[in-house]
Amino acid sequence: MFRPLLLAGIGAALVAGCTQNIRPTDADRAIIGAGTGYVVQQVRGKGGSDRLKGAAIGAVGGALCDDVGLCQ
């Protein structure tokens, strides 16, 4: 159960990094990551709490992706 959520977070961080021309802030990347994490869980057919977990992990991944050098 934890592994798919981790993969959703990593995927969200990578998608959040695809914003080259808009100079996003951490908040922008967190919003993009949260949306991606939510959609990934929805596509997987998961319920409400799993979708929220995916959104939370995506938000953290998106906000921190520039700190670890994934989205530069």
Q: What is the pLDDT along the chain (72 residues), one digit of tens a residue?
A: 567 767 766 666 666 556 666 777 888 888 888 888 888 888 888 888 888 988 898 888 888 877 777 666
Q: Tell me the C-alpha distance between 20 and 47, whole Å.
A: 33
Greatest alpha-carbon pair distance for the chain in Å reads: 35
DSSP state of 70: S
Q: Tell me the C-alpha distance between 68 and 20, whole Å.
A: 16
**Rounded to two decimals, what is the model's pTM?**
0.68
DSSP letters, 3-46, are: HHHHHHHHHHHHHHT--TTT---HHHHHHHHHHHHHHHHHHTT-
